[in-house]
Structure 1
Amino acid sequence: METEQLKAFVIEKIEDMKGRDIVALNITDKASFADYMVICSGSSNRHVKSIANSVGMECRAKGLEPLGMEGNDVGEWALVDLGDIIVHVMTDEQRDKYNLEQLWAE
């Protein structure tokens, strides 16, 4: 799956799970480890875990095994590493605290 197709697929799956405030940042010029960072919010720790698990499961169903999944134990901030795309699912508190959009926009 091409990177742009994967990005659209991931965003669609996040929307299906009612993830909020979805932002896709092109980090090609800023990082060597990925092309995009997709950031979204979940309404609770359980919601964050559900969104991350769903993205991982849906990608596996398409034949794309995530390289890694982190943070699903606590659920305040979960990360799904899809190679060219890194997905961050966060509670509002964590998202406000770390402000990844601002950090990577500079």
Structure 2
Amino acid sequence: MTKEDDVLSFSAEAVQAADGAAAMMAAPKTQATSEGILAAVLSSLGDDKAEDIVQIDLRGKTAMGDHMVICSGRSSRQVAAISEKLVERLKATFGISTRIEGKDTGDWVLIDTGDVIVHVFRPEVREFYQLEKMWQPSAAAAN
């Protein structure tokens, strides 16, 4: 075997090892159920100091998702950071890609995972739109 053969065989082994490592890193660690995603969302929001976190059960009310989570960040920068970290954590944990809108302005960011819809607001914007009132059960709205 020549020196060139050693280099080529080593390169092929390195490529196989790298491919195997990449496949292991890309594989989701946890099965993506709506309850699992909801738990991960709530954990991430708590870790990043989101405020006034409200979760709303949408099952039986709409086909757009099973859960909605609404929370606030203290500033546009925090709203964008909370949203960005949430998307990263969901991808790392479940291997799912989410749709995200509004991160550039940081006033209201919408993150759609399919089963869980997350709204992250600045407090003033959240007060203006009052999404919780729209989705809360009517008995709670009457009080």
- The one-letter code sitting in structure 1 at the alignment partner of 2:64 is F
Pick aligned residue for 1:8 from 39, 48, 55: 39
Correspondent of 1:64 among 85, 89, 96: 96
For residues 55-94 of structure 1, give each alpha carbon's deviation from its aligned partner in whole angstroms, at most 9, with x where no partner exists. 101011121211x100011100001100000010001001
Among candidates 48, 55, 61, match of residue 30 of structure 1: 61
Deviation for aligned residue 1:29: 2.0
2:132 to 78, 101, 106: 101
The within-5 A match list for 1:36-75 is 36-62=67-93, 63-66=95-98, 68-75=99-106
- Asked which structure has the greater CA Rg, the reply is 2
* Root-mean-square deviation over aligned CA pairs: 0.8
Give TM-score, length-normalised by structure 2.
0.71
Where 2:49 maps in the other structure, the secondary structure is coil
What residue number does 2:119 align with?
A: 88
Structure 2: gaps of 5 or more residues: 1-31, 139-143
> Structure 1: where are the runs of 5+ without partners?
none
Which of the pair has the greater relative contact order for Cα pairs under 8 Å at 6+ separation?
Answer: 1
Distance in 2, matches of 1:100 and 1:36, equals: 13
Under a length normalisation based on structure 1, what TM-score does the superposition of the two structures give? 0.95
- Describe the SS at the equivalent of 1:79: strand
